[in-house]
Structures are given as structure tokens and as C-alpha cells.
Amino acid sequence: MGAAAIPLGVGFSIAQTGHTEPRLDRAIQRFQAQLSRKTGVPLVPLPENPTRVRLTIHTDHASEPVQRLGEDESYTLQVTDAGVTLSAPTPLGAMHGLQTLLQLVTISAPGFVVPEANIQDSPRFPWRGLMIDSSRHFIPLKVIERNLDGMEHVKLNVFHWHLSDNQGFRAESKRFPQLQEHGSDGLFYTQDEIRALIAYARDRGIRVVPEFDVPGHSTAWFVGYPELASGPGPYQIERRWGIFDPAVDPTSENSYRFLDVLFGEMAKLFPDQFFHVGGDEVNGKQWDANPKIQQYMREHGIKDNAALQAYFNKRLQPIVAKHGKTMIGWDEVLDPSLPKDITIQSWRGAESLAEAAKGGYRGLLSSGWYLDLGWSAARHYAVDPMGESSTSLTGEEQRRILGGEACMWMEYADDETVDSRIWPRNAAIAERLWSPREVRDTASMYRRLGLVSHDLEFLGLTHNSYYEPMLQRIAGPATPEQLTALRTLADVVEPVKNYDREKARTAEPTRFTPLTRIVDTVHLESDAGRLFSDAVDAYLGSSCRDANLAARLRTQLSAWSANDATFQTLAPQSSLAQEAAATSKDLSAIGQVGLEALSYLEKGQAAPPEFKQQTEVVQRATEPKGQLLLVPAPAVSRLVDAAASGGNCTAK
Amino acid sequence: MGAAAIPLGVGFSIAQTGHTEPRLDRAIQRFQAQLSRKTGVPLVPLPENPTRVRLTIHTDHASEPVQRLGEDESYTLQVTDAGVTLSAPTPLGAMHGLQTLLQLVTISAPGFVVPEANIQDSPRFPWRGLMIDSSRHFIPLKVIERNLDGMEHVKLNVFHWHLSDNQGFRAESKRFPQLQEHGSDGLFYTQDEIRALIAYARDRGIRVVPEFDVPGHSTAWFVGYPELASGPGPYQIERRWGIFDPAVDPTSENSYRFLDVLFGEMAKLFPDQFFHVGGDEVNGKQWDANPKIQQYMREHGIKDNAALQAYFNKRLQPIVAKHGKTMIGWDEVLDPSLPKDITIQSWRGAESLAEAAKGGYRGLLSSGWYLDLGWSAARHYAVDPMGESSTSLTGEEQRRILGGEACMWMEYADDETVDSRIWPRNAAIAERLWSPREVRDTASMYRRLGLVSHDLEFLGLTHNSYYEPMLQRIAGPATPEQLTALRTLADVVEPVKNYDREKARTAEPTRFTPLTRIVDTVHLESDAGRLFSDAVDAYLGSSCRDANLAARLRTQLSAWSANDATFQTLAPQSSLAQEAAATSKDLSAIGQVGLEALSYLEKGQAAPPEFKQQTEVVQRATEPKGQLLLVPAPAVSRLVDAAASGGNCTAK
């Protein structure tokens, strides 16, 4: 804590100079409320409270009426014993600075303070986004709003709203009302709600880019408008997950007339410069099966489905442009025949992003940032839009790499769990997009992530608070000991990664499948598992004589070792707990093996040769069961290896 | 689980017979949403889901347009393998039955089920209330709404809204707008908001009784209308807690004219039959100091301030009656000279309630049910409106005891903590008011309370989820181990009881004092402390040879014993943690002493005579520090006594 730390009290007040506007006033009020929430100090300026200005905010000028890609978002923030000074060219920078200030505030021996600071800050990339899929599971607006609050806090500036897919068309169209009437089960956003959400986002320095995915991922459109499809109807809203056959008929003029009207309507509703047309994962089966389409391809020399999709996009691009927008699409829309004005969102890899940049296209990275795949924050943090494949790019080409977006696909999340699937890991991606490339230390990132995670909870996100009620739902009328046993297990378990949940499934899930299982309940990244693994590495890496570390490991391993006895009393009472019965056995087994390994290591003895067989126990525990990964198993495996190899733990 | 348990799936659907009304439709939709939330099963009737009616709701007829005291709230609920049948004379009973059904649903080996049941249910008392003080800390409407959801769940039917006090006048008056404009810091409910809240409550079978407290507790009125007061102004909104001097001038005709107009306006706004005028805690100092009032008393033969207040109430009652309402007030309004139409709310004891009933007055019990005093659920549960003092009452007199109200006074709670100060203990009071007098088993009550507490969280109450963020605020940038040490301590600590927080304070608290201390954070009743105490009693009561119980106690005591070492590393980093440093030392001390006692008991040895000295250690730990009670100390004291007295633990 620097000597200049400013105490935070009721009298902490704020003044503005330079440009002011209602949005900035609201941002300051919001900041005050957030600061009050974080600290519990009621910051209510009242006549009887003698106040002294402790924060001065200077803003040079207004930002664009519609927030534009690449606007100045920089700010400077100085905290001295004289007070806090925040300066920014535009309200965007001022808002970013306020959130930095909120993060800086910390408890200390004398109470809450703003520590001394001198920060000059601006983003590395101009496009820092989060995509949320509102189609597969509908997400109420208040959930989106709190995620926008979270985005503001970590300085993300693009909300990419995936509004249509096979499982639902979620935006109200007044021109084609059967889109939402037949394609949404009544779960859609009205145009008034959308306008309000865009205003909410703008208030937080966030652009809203809508996505209407064509020609695939569009079954929900065809329930109301079967004539758009390439195959005969009728259609039903899709309830399953996966890639499906229905696709817009790219050979029908009616399709383009429809899209022209719809996109025209939506282009007016969404003021942002960019308009996302999807374009991913067309399997072409309906095209193959439709003689009229096949004939059209022959007549027009369209040699395959990729070419047909390129043709579709070439027809689409002028429509989007006519309504004043820049078209953006997933990897698959990239075709050299398209004008350079389109932007590519790469879900296939940084290579295709570099390739696009070389071809003259602007692009965003999303590959490596699919939040629903369950990667660790460290793994997301290591991804960089300027990956190895971009080293050969010229400066101009590099500037075409606009940034990236974290993506939250919603097959296995709903409004109860979605926050926990996005946060806090998304904050690591946001930091990658904002901070200099050189800021890469993982341990330091995790320290900040823990603090940001707490701040985010005070903003209303539920990525921590969702957990206990879900455990209680699984436990039902359990004893406190049984609930503790469930929590102890759940704390060190993660869902299987990537698309392994699909592979390991026993029944086909649908939109109506309850997301209440242990795999839905556990955090995507286990803090307890990570900390144990770190402790094992510290123990093995330093000296096995470190009694404190050994004691910590022993406490943890003992608790795991004892846990299954209680868990197995719960499992028969709850179908949901039962699913983790095998993993619970594994946890106790690795707890026991870990304790044995620790004993050898503490004694400095080589374990007897037969101890090596315990490797198999641990190996079996690393195999997922019930779609669950037992996170500490690899670390226990390292303990066993060290013990078996003669207890020479420093030589690992 | 009975054989007839009905599985709960997407196809669970509902039909109505008999009387229907929009309120009932909304109640059913709400029930479906609540059931979905509790179970995670999406109960969405869609064409493609073959549904079969599993719940039939029959309602005989409408309830009164304005819910009336004593309306039929009964229902019958049958669950057989053929389905669920809910029947009720009125929508009130139907709504109660739905909440019972929601409580019945439980997880089991095959999944979520409705267990077999055959319930005929009706309330013991017609007035089952919760009072919330919106004056001392303003409570946002959404917080009140979720508390109404909780009230519905436990079948409480009166929300008593304490809308004015020294610290704020919270209801919009259009006739006297300076009440809220000068008396609320801008924190008040508009009439539209109040109407919406009344409708929200009616939808849940809950009456809304407003309270405008006169002649005392009224400083906030006088900021805008100083001429109402008995002393010279000007006045400021009171920021402190306590009993203050300002009181309405009962000798001025202007006071009655003002109250006539205001109460007329509020009587129209609040449709309920009852209108609460407060009447408590007038210290009389302004009356004593005002020569005009003294003269008036002499001229009119009013012998003392009690008589003056009786005179005031006698003038007030016809005003309230003129606007079509029945006057209700706190104990102090009881005076034999008042008409029998008034109703007494007893905060002083069941004796005054019986006394009122003998005098012909109807009454409610609140004594023993002040939620803010921190009593255990067991202690609240043991309170009965038909206490000992009512045994001498005739049947008619007994019927004048209408029920009771839990009261939540808001000196030491705000919107962040209020749910935790009300729930789950309020559910025990609700059960006392609903269920037969003979249902009194405390252990059984705590089992139900645990389940209801989980259900209430699914309804949106935050009495559990508030806890972790508040611990994190205290811990700040702590390590996971430090946070765990804080949680371990906080789990077994309670705030001092009754008004001891006032007695132990070091600085005068005000409305602006942050409520972020450990005393604000810990639960008012420590589950961990209660369970430990129960385990000690079980251990001492059965046989000290019970190795399982001994192991459980040992685990717990060991954790406490070790806890302070980590906690003391946190304390210097956080002013908020520092406050519990002494209590943390105590916890480790009693953990250590408890372990020693357990050793003697396990060995069956009498402890050496000097061990008895450890009693002092434990005794010191029972003394509150930092306004905190260390809950397990008395149980450890019992362990020490048993060990000291020869280890004969069965003879305790």
C-alpha cells in the first residue's frame, strides 16, 4: 500500500470537468453504486456530510453517436494523496478508467482505500467481444444485462448476439412475424427490448453486433417460412444439438428478397456498423437432395457446395452493404471472390485469421476462446490473435486482425448456469485483448482473476452464487455431512473438455433436458484442483522436507480419502448424486494413494517396487466417469511417481 | 418414499376445475416456474410433448375482492399414483396447497418425485404476519417482493409495512408531498409502486397493512411539517437509532386535521381493513417541555403523558374509523377508554395480549418474534400467542387473539443482509402460526427448516447467498487459506443477542455506518454451532465410547484449534477481519481445550484436578468480543465439565 492511499468514506465525492453528457453521469452514478456495493460504504452526498472532491473526471469530447470500431478508449488515472484524477479523450475512456478505479479499491488495515497509482492505459485491440448464443437456450434480458455489466468491468466492447439458430429465432420481426411466432416457443426479444438492451450496452461502452445465421443453422426460420428452405417442409423447431440439414435455398430469388427485407429491418434496429450473417457449418445435404438446386448449379457452373455457399455470400454481401452495414461471418464465408469489405470471425484457428489478413480481409479470433468447451483460464489466456501464424504478416496485414471474441454456445447452459460458464475465465480473455502481449504470467493472472471474480459478483453476476443451490438440489434432504461430502467432491471435479460430453453421452440431450447434473453444477475450472496441483508442484519442486506444504497436502488428501464413505450414503438417495458415485470412489482412492506416497516422500524412503502398481489406481481415476474429470488425479500421479522413483522429489 | 410417488417430468401438466380467475392462473404459472427452478425440470407444455394431467386443482368459489381477516384458507391435497388432486374453497387455499406441493417435491433414487400424501390443512390463526421496517434502512421494492414470495411459501398472509419513523417517511403523499420530499432523502415508494406491491401481495394471498407511526417515531414528518411537532423546529431526518423526543402535538387541532387528510389519502391507497397507527415509545419530553401542552393538560384534566397519549388515540380512532378502517397499534395504545374496535399488537409480552383480550380487544403477538434480536429458530418456535397467560381466557376471549407477526426492525440490516436476518428463522414462526399447537418438536422443525431454506433460495431469497460475497469483502485480496480461516470462524459466530449490540458499541452508529462488519456478515443462528452442540450432547448423553461421534468432534475441534494461526495472518490486512481477532483466538483456545477433554473422555480417565482450570479459558471465550458470540463455547464447556468430573459422560 503506497503512502498516498486514499481512505474511502461517506465523504468521497466526484466532480466532472470538460465534456459531460447524460451517459457519463449515469456511468458515474453506476460507479458510485458499484463502489458502495464493493465496500459497503454508502456514498450518498448529503448536505450534512461535509464532502471534499476526491475524484475528478475530465473528458475531452464526446464519442461517436454510434460507437465505432477503433474509437479512442484510452484514459489516464492518477491516485495521489491529493485525490484521484481520471482523464480521457472520450466517455469510453472515462468509463474504462472508472472500472479500473473500482478494481483498485481494496481493504487494508485502516479500512477501504484507493492505493496510489499512475496509470496510462489503452487497448491493444479495438474489437474485444463476447458472443452469447440466445438461441439454444433462451436467456432472459436481465441475465444479458448483468453479463454486459461484467463486460464493462473487464473493458470488453462488443456484445455479439447470436439471435437465431436451429433451436430458435429470438428477435421480433415486424415484417416477418412468423419468424418469432413459429420459431421461438414464445421466447424472443421484442424490438423495444432490443432497443433498450442496445442503449444499456452503449451506456457501458459496448457495441451490439447481431447475428442472423444463414444459410445453415436456420431450421427455426423455416417453421414459419418453409419456402425459404432447400428441402420440403414442414419444419419443427429443432430440439437437439448438432449440425442439421436444413439450409436456405441459395438458388431462389425469393430467398434474397426475404433476406433483403429482413436484414433491412434488422439493420435499422441494430445501429452498429457490423452485421453478422453466420455462414458456418452448412452440411449441404438439402442442396444435394434438391434437383432444382443441382440443376441451378450445373447451369451456373457452380462446382460444389462450397462454391454454392460462396455464391450465396456474394449475393448476400450487397444486400448487407445496401443497408449500410459491413458484413461479418464465420470462417466459412471466406472466399477470395468476395469483396474485401467483409470481416471474418475465425472459429477454426489463428491460421485462417492470418490467411484472411493476407487476403486483405479483416478478422477476429474466436478459436481457442470457446468458453463452453471448459478450458482453463490459463489456456484461454495463452491464446493470442497475433499467434505464430501472424509473424509473417506485414504491419498493414496485422492491423487487419481486429481482436477477438469469447464465445458462449448454449447447448449445456441455461440462465441458471450461464454466468458460471462465462466467468471468471472470460476476464482472462478480456485481459489478453486489452493488455500488451508481453503480459503473460499465469500465476499473476490467477491472482487478479480471483479479485475480479469477487468484484463481478458484487456487480450481480452469479458465477459463484449459483453453485450452492445447485449442490443442494442434488443433495435434497441430505444431512449436513452428506452435503459437505458432495461439495468436497464437486469442488475438485470438472466437466469433460471440448466436445467430449457429446461423445460420452448415454441419451440424446435436447432443449428440455434438465441441466441439473453434477456435470452442470461443477465449475468449469476447479480452483481447489488447481491449487492442489500447484501445491504438489511446489512440494516436489522444492524439498520434500517442507513440513508446512506436506501438512497442507496431507490435510487435503485425508479429507478426500475419507469422503467417499459419506458420499456413498447420499448416492442411493438421489439420482443426481448417484452419477458421481464412481468419481467419488476414485477421489477417495487417489486420496489414499496420495497419503501413502506422501509418507514415503516425507521419510525420504524409496517406496517398495510394488507401490508403483498404485499408478494404475491413479490412472483409472484420470479416466472420466459420468462426464466428470477428477482434477487432482494427475497431481497425485506425480506424487506417486516421485515416491516410486526413490523419493528424490527435487529431481522431478 | 411411498409406492405412489409420482415422477416429475416435462410432461407434468395441470388442469383447473370449478372457479377460475386470473390470479389463480398466475399462481399456477408461478408454481410451475418455482417447480422448474427447484427441480431443473423445464415444465413447458408444448404440442410435441405428450402431456397427461398430473395435477388437478379444484377451487369452489372466489375469495373476497379485498382479502379479509379470517377468510377460508383451507385446502386438501392428495397424491396417489393416479395423480395429484388439490381442492380448496377459495383461491387462498389453492395457493397454500400449491406451496405445500412445492415443498413435498423431493429428489430420490429415480429422480424428482411427488411423494404419496393425503393432507387436510387449515391455519390455526387467521393473522400470520411479517412486519418490515422500511424506514431505518430503505428497502428496494424488489427486496420486498422476494420477501413476499417467501411469505407465500410459508403461508404468511399479512405484510405489515412500517412506512414511517424518525429516519424516513417512505410513502408518497400527494396531499402532503413534503413528507417524502423532505423526509426521505429521495428514498420513498410512489403511490403507483405501492399499488403494484399491494397487487403483488394479493396475488400471493397476502394482505398489506400500512403503519404510519404517531405520535412518536415521527421526526421525519416534521422536517417538512414542523408545525405538527410538540417542540420548536427546525427538524432534520434522524440518522441515529433509539427513542427520540419529537412527537406530534396532541393538543393542536391542526394535528388532527392533518392526520385526517393524510390517513384519508392512505386509507384509499391501502385497501386493507386494518390501519396501523404505531403509538409506541413516546418519551413525552417534548410534551413536558411545552407550556401550551402542559396548560392544555391541566385545563382538560389529563393527568399524565399516558393519559395524553390515550386522549390522542381517542381522537385518532374516529378519524381512522371515518375512513372505513379498523385501527391497530402497539401495546401502548391500549387504554380501557378506547372503543373495543381497536386491535393491539403486543411487543411487550403475551401477558399484555391476554390482558387486552380480557378487556375485549383483539390482539396479535409480536413479543418473542423480533427477528432482529438474533434469537434461534427454536426459541422463536417455542413462543405461542396462546401462552400461559391465555389459559385463563374464555373461548371468546381466546378468539380475540388473532395470531401474530414476526418483526424485522432495520437498524442493523440493509438490502444486502435483510433476507438473512428474516430467513430461515421466520419460517419457524410461520409454522407456529399455522400448525396445531401440539406440533412442537424442535429437531423435527430444524429438519424441515433446512429444506424450506433451500426452497426459499430457489424463490430468489438471498439469506444464504449473501454470505460468501460479504466474507470476500472482509477478506479482500486474501489467499484461499485465509478466506477459509475466516469462513471457519464466521460459521460458528453469531452477533450478540437482544439489544446487546447497542450496549457493546464503541461509536454511535447511524444510517451511514457500513453494515459490512463480521457481526453483520455472520448468520444470526449458526448451523455449525448448533450441530456441534447437538453432537456434544449426543456424545455425552449416550456413551463416550461412541467412536464415530468422537471422531466427528475431534475433526471439528482440530480444525478450530488450527484456525487462528491462519486467521492472524489475515487480520492485520483488513480492518474488518481485525475485529474478530480476539474471537478467533478464543475459537482456537476452545478447540484445544475441547481436544484435551475429548482425550480424557475417550480414555475413560478422570482428568487431573488442574484440568478444571481450563474452565476459565472456555468461560472467557463465552464472553462476547467485537459484538460476537462464539457459539460452540458452552458445548465445549460441557465437554470440560464431563472430563473434569471423572469422564463419566453418561451422568451429565
pLDDT number for residue B652: 40
Query: Helix, strand or coil for residue B514?
Result: coil
Asked if the Cβ–Cβ distance from B469 to A458 is below 8 Å, we say yes
Chain A contact present for B480, CB below 8 A: yes
Residue in A closest to B462 by C-alpha: A465
- pLDDT (average), residues A36-44: 88
Chain B contact present for A541, CB below 8 A: no
Task: Compute the nearest-CA separation of A212 from chain B (Å).
Answer: 25
Active-site residue identified among A116, A281, A351, A596: A281
Tally A–B CB contacts below 8 A: 125
List chain B residues with CB under 8 Å of A106. 476-477
Interface of A with B in 206-235 (CB under 8 A): none
Which spans in B270-389 are helix H?
Answer: 285-289, 291-299, 305-322, 350-358, 377-382
Asked if the Cβ–Cβ distance from B107 to A527 is below 8 Å, we say no
Is A590's pLDDT higher than 70? Answer: yes
CA distances from B196 to B124, B192, B203, B262 (A): 29, 6, 10, 20
List chain B residues with CB under 8 Å of A473. 38-40, 107, 454, 458
Residue in A closest to B472 by C-alpha: A454
Interface of A with B in 303-342 (CB under 8 A): none
Is A464's pLDDT higher than 60? Answer: yes
Asked if the Cβ–Cβ distance from B512 to A10 is below 8 Å, we say yes
User: Can the peptide bond before residue B424 be classed as cis, meaning omega within 30 degrees of 0?
Assistant: yes
Which residues of chain B fall below pLDDT 70?
Answer: 1-4, 45-51, 543-544, 647-652
pLDDT number for residue A33: 94
Q: Which of A335, A372, A379, A390 is nearest to A501 (CA)?
A: A372
Q: Considering CB atoms only, which of A109, A472, A480 is closest to B454?
A: A472
Which spans in A105-177 are helix H?
Answer: 141-153
Which residues have C-beta within 8 Å of that of residue B438, sequence separation ≥ 6? Answer: none
Per 3-state DSSP, chain A is made up of helix, strand and coil in percentages (nearest 5) of 45, 15, 35
Asked if the Cβ–Cβ distance from B107 to A574 is below 8 Å, we say yes
Strands A401-408 and A127-133: parallel
**CB-based contact A41:A35 (threshold 8 Å):** yes
Q: Which of B521, B501, B494, B627 is nearest to B242 (CA)?
A: B501
Task: Compute the nearest-CA separation of B106 from chain A (Å).
Answer: 6
**CB-based contact A217:A280 (threshold 8 Å):** yes
Q: What's the mean pLDDT when you consider all of chain A?
A: 94
List chain B residues with CB under 8 Å of A573. 107-109
pLDDT number for residue A652: 40
List chain A residues with CB under 8 Å of B416. 37, 40
List chain B residues with CB under 8 Å of A531. 480
pLDDT number for residue A47: 59
pLDDT number for residue A649: 53
Interface test with B, best of A38, A113, A451, A472 (most B CBs within 10 A): A472
Asked if the Cβ–Cβ distance from A108 to B573 is below 8 Å, we say yes
Is A452's pLDDT higher than 50? Answer: yes
DSSP B211: E
For residue A572, name the pLDDT band (cuts at 50, 70, 90).
very high
Q: How far apart are CA A637 and CA A597, in angstroms?
A: 9
Task: Compute the nearest-CA separation of A507 from chain B (Å).
Answer: 16
List chain B residues with CB under 8 Å of A570. none
Residue A340: phi and psi, rounded to 5, are -75, -5
Flag whether the pTM goes above 0.80. Answer: yes
**CB-based contact B626:B604 (threshold 8 Å):** no
Tens digit of each residue's pLDDT (9 = 90 or more) over B79-110? 998 899 999 999 999 999 999 999 999 999 99
Which spans in A579-632 are helix H?
Answer: 581-603, 614-622
Interface test with B, best of A106, A107, A556 (most B CBs within 10 A): A107
Tens digit of each residue's pLDDT (9 = 90 or more) over A481-527? 999 999 999 999 999 999 999 887 778 899 999 999 999 999 999 99
Asked if the Cβ–Cβ distance from A469 to B477 is below 8 Å, we say no
Which residues have C-beta within 8 Å of that of residue B420, sequence separation ≥ 6? Answer: B462, B463, B464, B466, B467, B523, B524
Asked if the Cβ–Cβ distance from A454 to B469 is below 8 Å, we say yes
For residue A51, name the pLDDT band (cuts at 50, 70, 90).
low
Task: Compute the nearest-CA separation of A202 from chain B (Å).
Answer: 25
Residue B161: phi and psi, rounded to 5, are -105, 105
Chain A contact present for B49, CB below 8 A: yes
Q: How far apart are CA B158 and CA B92, in angstroms?
A: 13
Tens digit of each residue's pLDDT (9 = 90 or more) over A7-19? 887 778 899 999 9
CA dihedral of residues B177, B178, B180, B183 (deg, nearest 10)? -170
Tens digit of each residue's pLDDT (9 = 90 or more) over B561-609? 999 999 999 999 999 999 999 999 999 999 999 999 999 998 888 899 8
Interface test with B, best of A105, A138, A412, A454 (most B CBs within 10 A): A454
CA distances from A478 to A31, A57, A584, B455 (A): 42, 53, 17, 14
Q: Considering CB atoms only, which of B42, B185, B512 is closest to A512?
A: B42
pLDDT number for residue A48: 61
List chain A residues with CB under 8 Å of B110. 575
pLDDT number for residue A569: 98
Strand ranges in B111-217 using DSSP code E only, listed in sequence order: 111-114, 117-121, 127-133, 158-165, 168-169, 207-212
**CB-based contact A587:A633 (threshold 8 Å):** no
List chain B residues with CB under 8 Å of A465. 465, 468-469
Chain A contact present for B454, CB below 8 A: yes
Per-residue HEC secondary structure of B557-586 comes to HHHHHHHHHHHHHHHHHCHHHHCCHHHHHH
pLDDT number for residue A651: 41
Task: Compute the nearest-CA separation of A464 from chain B (Å).
Answer: 9
List chain B residues with CB under 8 Å of A43. none
Tens digit of each residue's pLDDT (9 = 90 or more) over A303-359? 999 999 999 999 999 999 999 999 999 988 888 888 999 999 998 888 889 989 999
pLDDT number for residue A646: 74
Interface test with A, best of B48, B452, B473 (most A CBs within 10 A): B473
pLDDT number for residue B649: 52
- Would you say the C-alpha torsion B311, B314, B319, B323 has a positive or negative sign? positive
Task: Compute the nearest-CA separation of A498 from chain B (Å).
Answer: 24
Q: Which amino acid is at A289?
A: A
Asked if the Cβ–Cβ distance from B49 to A575 is below 8 Å, we say no
Tens digit of each residue's pLDDT (9 = 90 or more) over A156-208? 999 999 999 999 999 999 999 999 999 999 999 999 999 999 999 999 999 99
The percentage of chain A sitting over the pLDDT mark of 70, rounded to a whole number, equals: 97
- pLDDT (average), residues A256-261: 98
Q: Which of A6, A108, A22 is nearest to A56 (CA)?
A: A6
Residue in B closest to A532 by C-alpha: B480
Chain B contact present for A416, CB below 8 A: yes
| Residue pointed to by grid coordinates 450518498 | A44
Is B281 an active-site residue?
yes
Chain A contact present for B457, CB below 8 A: yes
Asked if the Cβ–Cβ distance from B469 to A451 is below 8 Å, we say no
Residues present in chain A in total:
652
Residue in B closest to A575 by C-alpha: B109
Residues present in chain B in total:
652
Tens digit of each residue's pLDDT (9 = 90 or more) over A72-118? 999 999 999 889 999 999 999 999 999 999 999 999 999 999 999 99
Asked if the Cβ–Cβ distance from B473 to A454 is below 8 Å, we say yes
- pLDDT (average), residues A552-570: 96
Q: How far apart are CA A292 and CA A307, in angstroms?
A: 16
